[in-house]
Amino acid sequence: MLTQLRCPVRLSLHSDDALTASQIETVGTLYQKDRDRFHLLLTEPQVSGFDPATVCTTSNCLTIPTPRLLWIEFSPYRVAMTMQGNGQFSYRHLFEPSVFGSSRYWLQEDITTNGQMRLRNFTRILHVKGSPMPCYLLLEYELWSQHLKLGDYTLSIEMDH
């Protein structure tokens, strides 16, 4: 059973305890894999007005070209989110309610021996709304580095169809 639907998507990520907030609006393709399993493919809109020279202070600053692909596999029980960024920066997060999942980041510059940074996340809330096609995904989680909590985050995705 493969159903596909192109629709406007609004993705919002914010931190409850830091000054981190981001929102993008774009068009995505929603695929239904099974009765309650879906894939959402997004292309990040072109970043306009961004000058890495005003943000970076060193010669080896990481620049992230756009557009980048964001692929979200989700169900009411699990979310896997993968971003591919032209080989310079990418990540993969695995979320399940009440479970410590993994968050991996791959960077162009090797900051560790294998070029990746591993963190953990603890999913407090995973909620999917809408039937038969979802219209909303809510994910609340904590991000951890070993025994140090890095923050509380909320990811929400609205799909207008």
pLDDT in tens, 49-60: 545 555 555 555
Mean predicted lDDT score pLDDT of the chain: 83
58-92 residue pLDDT tens: 555 555 555 678 999 999 999 999 987 666 678 89
pLDDT of residue 37: 95
Considering just the CA atoms, what is the radius of gyration of the chain in Å?
16
Taking CA atoms, 29 is separated from 17, 70, 143, 144, in Å, by 32, 11, 28, 31
pLDDT band, residue 153 (cuts 50/70/90): very high
Q: Measure the CA–CA gap between 140 and 97, rounded to whole angstroms.
A: 9
Which residues on adjacent β-strands are paired with residue 13? 22, 155
What angle (nearest 5°) sits at the alpha carbon of residue 97, between those of residues 96 and 99? 70
Global model pTM greater than 0.95: no
Q: Measure the CA–CA gap between 13 and 22, rounded to whole angstroms.
A: 5
2-40 residue pLDDT tens: 578 899 999 999 998 877 888 989 999 999 999 899 999
pLDDT of residue 96: 97
C-beta separation of 56 from 50 below 8 A: no
Taken in order of first residue, the domains within the chain and their CATH numbers are 3-46+65-159 (2.40.128.20)
118-131 residue pLDDT tens: 999 999 999 999 98
| Residues contacting residue 138 through CB under 8 Å, at least 6 positions apart | 125, 126, 127, 128, 129, 154, 155, 156
Q: Measure the CA–CA gap between 80 and 96, rounded to whole angstroms.
A: 9
What average pLDDT score do residues 101-111 get? Answer: 76
